[in-house]
Amino acid sequence: MSIFTKIITGEIPSYKVAENADFIAFLDINPNAKGHTLVVPKKEENKIFDLSKEAYTSLMDFSYQVAKAIEKTLPCKRVGMSVIGLEVPHVHVHLIPLNAMEDIQFMKKVTLSKDEFVDLAEEISKNF
C-alpha cells in the first residue's frame, strides 16, 4: 500500500484541496513552491501509462480543474505540470505554481507552517 493510498483512506492526514469519486488533490508537504499540489487517482496504479485511456483522460481533466483553482488562488506566471512517479509507486501529477524555471526542478523547496498549509488548502478548495 502506497503512502498515497494511506492518505486517500485517511490513515495519514493531508491538506486536501479537491476530491471526487475517482481522484484526490492535496498539497505537497515538501513543496517546490507555495501551492505545489499533487493530484492522485484513488485507485492505486504504479505508472501513468498503465491507466486506461478513460482514467488517464479523467485524471487530466481533474488536474485541469485543480490547476485553474491554483491560478485563482496564487499569483504565478503559470501552473506547471510534471509526472515523474519514481518517488512513490502510485500515479500522481505535480501541479506547481511557476514564476521561474527553478520552481519545476525539484531542487529548491519552500517551507510552510501547518497554519499556512491549512489556510492555503482552504483557499484553493474555495476556488475549485
The pLDDT score that the predictor gives to residue 86 is 84
Domain boundaries defined on the chain: 3-127
Q: What is the pTM of this model?
A: 0.93
Average pLDDT for residues 8-30, to the nearest whole number?
97
SS3 21: coil
Residue 128 Cα distances to 21, 107, 121, 125, angstroms: 15, 28, 11, 5
| Class of 3-127 in CATH | alpha beta
pLDDT, tens digit, 9 for 90 and up, residues 111-125: 999 999 999 999 999
Q: Does residue 1 register a pLDDT over 90?
A: no
What's the burial of 107, exposed, middle or buried (CB within 10 Å: 0-12/13-18/19+)? exposed
**Does residue 36 carry a catalytic annotation?**
no
Query: Which of 36, 90, 92, 94 does the annotation list as catalytic?
Result: 92
